[in-house]
Amino acid sequence: MINYIIIKLQKKTVISSVKKPTVRPIFPFTAIVGQEEMKLALILNVIDPKIGGVMIMGDRGTGKSTTIRAIADLLPEIPVVSNDSFNSHPSDIDLMGDQVKEAVDKQEDITLSYIKVPMVDLPLGATEDRLCGTIDIEKALTEGVKSFEPGLLAKANRGILYVDEVNLLDDHLVDILLDSAASGWNTVEREGISIRHPARFVLVGSGNPEEGELRPQLLDRFGMHAEIRTVKDPALRVKIVEERSKFDEDPTLCIAENKDNQELLKEQIIAAQEKLLSVEMDYEFRVKISEVCSELDVDGLRGDIVTNRAAKAFAAYQGHDRVTLEDIQTIITLSLRHRLRKDPLESIDSGQKVQKVFEKIFTDVIN
């Protein structure tokens, strides 16, 4: 009986000494097969977050969530002020909270740390308080002080905020999201406390068009719109299944096999971010982009602005000093297809319509 107990104890000791991974492995971005339109839209928004995010609409089971998590895992770590609730940048005023700004103004010492780019999921059942932040009731009751408890917008600052099934999200929450994404700030008024903090994030929404469409005025607020469809090519489907099976069987090996490609893409994105401000676009191209928007009867000027930004981001990604015709042709459908007025009697796809007008307006340049 005594021997039996000793053996059990020894086994327990051995089991407890086995070190288990504490971080869930993420499917490598470069191992994702197909869906090039979605991948490009995400990369361009990472290069220039001011593009305004991306809406991804497509069939179920096409890798939307997997791809979005993969791009966040791919990005390099960012410097933040230690123990700050808003992931404040140590030197950029637009990306730091008020307390950090005061500390910088007073030339106080600031401790830095490096974290992975935040990836925040917004569940469909989230409340406004959970999204924007609220008063810390526990602290108010125990210590008698009014304290702010940050919400998901604070956690997403300088990262990616992902909303799956965004077309099913309450409209007032979508309004808050889009306003914060556009302004880069979140303001909360609660119980006599006014809190304003940076909320600069890449807003990514996904959904299935069968479950309902977004209101046109909300859809227009997303910078880009990617449409993805189930792959029909049998050979490509087999390749996708094989890559996924390889990852499920041994995630560590799959990540190791894609390490070089991941590092190469990471370096390409970093180089594009650094090059972005120096990329130039000819005045003639800017005029023709506006002509395309006018011909397509696009409301407002967001279409013009996003197309210009996206073209520069893609040019930087390609290593170009100036935007080329091919750069514009690659991104113009992503930037404009969701801004067209829908005619139920029209048979032509919105993406094809954008390309048709592009070819018409840019005829002299193409020839």
- Catalytic residue set: 302
Sign, CA torsion 328/334/339/342: positive
**Residue keyed to tokens 């470069």:** 30
| Cβ contact 74:41 at 8 Å | no
- Residues near 295 by Cβ (< 8 Å), separated by ≥ 6? 357, 360, 361
**Distances in Å between the alpha carbon of 36 and those of 62, 63, 240, 355?**
12, 12, 13, 17
The Cα 227–Cα 38 span in angstroms is 7
HEC per residue, 270-312: HHHHHHHHHCECCHHHHHHHHHHHHHCCCCCCHHHHHHHHHHH
Give the largest CA-CA distance in the chain: 93
What single DSSP character describes residue 196?
Answer: E
| Phi, then psi, of 265 in degrees rounded to 5 | -65, -40
Residue 254 corresponds to which tokens in the numbers above? Answer: 């799959």
Q: How far apart are the C-alpha atoms of 300 and 310, rounded to whole Å?
A: 17
Cα–Cα nearest to 301, from 277, 336, 331: 336
Rounded to whole angstroms, the Cα distance separating 1 from 5 reads 6
Q: Please give the single-letter amino acid code of residue 346.
A: E
Q: What is the DSSP letter of 322?
A: B
Which is nearest to 71 in space by CA: 118, 134, 131?
Answer: 118
Interatomic CA distance for residues 180 and 146, integer angstroms = 24
What is the DSSP code (8-state) at residue 223? Answer: S
Overall residue count recorded for the chain in this entry:
367
